[in-house]
């Protein structure tokens, strides 16, 4: 086999393994519950959550940014301030340090109320998350995703959202 064909075969195998790893990460990451909210201010908060990682590797989330839109208008941006490490094959209590940037201080209250009362109807997000292991780095991103879809994917019920509001 020529060098050229070996390179192509190697690239194809790598692409399939990256796609498989991407699916593994998403399938094995499970939100359990909100635990606490600390250092809450108009510029950010620390949210403690219980998360289960069934994957055979520790997952490191290095960067994350979410733009929140209500009825097509950007009302807030939420960014990860520091990296998050999820140990392999365990349920862990982790700290999610967030930075907020909103049009006004009532935007987050309006967003949370919309999530609880209307399951996020009319609210969409654009997100970009950089995560991976020591050997594999992936970027997850999408635009104009309905918040109700995100809530369903992470099995967040109205009760979970009400718990979060009570913690705040």
pTM: 0.75
pLDDT value, residue 138: 80
Spell out the per-residue pLDDT of the chain, length 168, in tens.
455 445 445 554 444 444 445 555 567 777 888 888 888 777 888 888 898 888 888 888 899 999 988 888 888 888 999 999 989 899 999 999 989 888 777 777 777 777 777 777 788 888 888 887 777 788 888 898 887 787 776 667 767 777 777 776
User: What was the pLDDT predicted at 155?
Assistant: 67
Domain coordinates in residue numbering, the chain: 3-167
Q: What is the pLDDT of residue 16?
A: 45
pLDDT value at residue 106: 75
Give me the DSSP letters along the chain. --HHHHHHHHHHHHHHHHHHHHHHHHHTEEEEEEEEEEEEETTEEEEEEEEEE-SSS-EEEEEEEEEEEETTEEEEEEEE-S-EEE-TTEEEEEEEEEEEEESSTTHHHHHHHHHHHHTTTTEEEEEEEEEE-SS-EEEEEEEEEEHHHHHHHTT--HHHHHHHHHH-
- Write down the architecture of domain 3-167 according to CATH: Distorted Sandwich (2.70)
pLDDT confidence of residue 82? 93
């Amino acid at each position: 086999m020529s060098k050229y064909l070996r390179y192509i075969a190697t690239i194809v195998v790598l692409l399939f393994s990256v796609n498989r790893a991407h699916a593994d990460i998403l399938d094995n990451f499970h939100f359990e519950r909100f635990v606490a909210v600390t250092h809450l201010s108009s510029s950010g908060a620390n949210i403690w959550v219980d998360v289960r990682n069934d994957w055979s590797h520790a997952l490191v989330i290095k960067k994350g940014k979410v733009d929140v839109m209500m009825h097509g208008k950007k009302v807030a941006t939420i960014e990860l301030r520091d990296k998050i490490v999820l140990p392999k094959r365990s349920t862990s209590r982790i700290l999610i340090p967030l930075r907020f940037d909103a049009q006004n201080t009532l935007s987050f209250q309006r967003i949370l109320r919309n999530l609880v009362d209307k399951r996020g109807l009319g609210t969409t997000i654009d997100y970009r998350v950089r995560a991976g292991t020591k050997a594999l780095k992936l970027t997850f991103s999408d635009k104009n995703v309905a918040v109700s879809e995100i809530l369903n994917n992470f099995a967040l019920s109205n009760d979970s959202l009400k718990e979060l509001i009570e913690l705040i």
